Structure 1
């Protein structure tokens, strides 16, 4: 099928699928030790398997850990690399994903969008620059009390619709196409138990990006750090000169963090940061959990050293107290791997161009499943899914941008066979 014929496809189901999927609560839970972290993620997984089987994709299945695998067999006589498309099923713990009510704002004309279930939630044209590219589009939002779930159910709906179209149009030549839907991406555990031998793909693309036309080959490198403060607990009635509250020491450490740099609130582009995500404890013992981020992996050690120096300086003012500082690797900048396989990005960029957009190569101030997949031996950049304002009640996505993402998937599959 020629590029014109692919672009001539008009019978999309992506919007309808997306609106169904977001109504299934799949919020992940970082405090849970299980995989998936919440059993309810399997509700979506089971539905996706049913729909894949109904499309004629006979090996679709979900494993005990909530990972969905499927294969669209090659219809080419050529030897073509096996390509995987991946999205995650969970939504962020930052905002409720229960009882999502998707709303379609047809023929958007640049107005502010007031969400009906909470009129204080307003998606303002002036605060969302990408709305300028959406005139005439159908914008999908939640109703004001939940997030929408475009991160990453837009990606799931796009892969599912592309799978339907590949099965419907055998004239689109392609090699083996693998589908992978993962749990727990939002809590950093999205590929912990992914079975890459079962997947058996050569290269992959996550559909988890933002603005239409973008493709990302660079993420943060990421570590997590736990700072534990051991204070001195004494009955408060007899505490003078004796008590050293771990809670107050922890608060002093957070207060001492830089505010004009090395903080999410004061950094952008490729600036790194140190960010406290959770604090808990008692007078005797308190813990602060941090995420440390930078596009240059070597800078993580610098940021961690500065953080520990701040902690050491504060705790030194409390001679009977102490601290421990533990760092764990989370993921690394996928560019370190993807630069070794330039054809993956070249085909992604050409696919976006063939789908009628100007391709924009970006870096992410965050991470994706593709970050870790790349270092696990499956090189994997990130293609746009079309969602915006992730993890909050102002999240939105364009129906037309999701359709463009479907076309991009079809072109990626076709280009690997063509080339």
Structure 2
């Protein structure tokens, strides 16, 4: 799509929004039901596209993308009337007999820029929210997930007129052309580097932007933790989508007293969940492309690899890899990993861990495995992060009422 075509599309959506057609709650609910039915209709195709783009199994594709999208749409269908309802607030006596209330209004024409790692969920979920709020939307899926992007274009074109919901596919040229336009809200999910550029471009138009970024999400395991349970849940969350999950535990901070036991249990869990040959397991995904494959291999220090490390360049696959004896100075700690590499750092002083994390960029997620209620209170009250779990990982994403996002550098 050319810049002129994108401009015409944005103008058409602005004009459509100004008609007021998207404002009635009945209209919003009807469109959400259409979206739900369309996702159900294309459920198999969605899973096939995710397999083509990321090697996701049908189970993972439904559980982590199509199924969660349906849950979010269903939540919006049930609650759109409540969310749109005006809210009475108290009025000062001096203003009697006036009545005061707040009313939630849609932004207008929105732009949703989605990532490649969960290309269906992180497109459809914000789209459902935008439509429930009474907006129009232009969706820009990632060029790194071509099969899913093509399917989204087919689905949404079938479901909605383009003056209401439209899909723009392509790469950097299309991204730049979209950001040349003045939207009423931009919703971006992706890397911090690109997020900064999106925010700069939005600032030119004074357009508000929602950024869901990433970072190095720590997972703390203290000496009171249930180690087998911790290992099972950490391995599941870390290796979901082959480690390409924005809220995956990036690295472990483990108390030295239980480090060896945790390491042993993690190795057992990887074998239990993915077998002795994970590269051949159909339920184990692949790295999205050669660029990220090569980047990840560069983060693996053979001298610190205590499990895994195998790779297959022809299929862009890297086996679950555990690194021990890691320090903050190692390459793997210098950037968000976004892959199946799990570094383990140790500590002896919990206070020092808290002080250290306070001085670092605020992560998108933080996880703590412990039975110590004092430590739970310290972490939840003293540290700043987007979201997290106690004695589990990533499941906070599956709760519609929780909300989701980062803070500071993570969004």
Q: What range is the shorter-chain TM-score in?
A: under 0.3
More strand by share: 1
Question: What TM-score does the superposition give when structure 1 sets the normalisation length?
Answer: 0.22
Would you tell me which structure has more helix in proportion to its own residues?
2
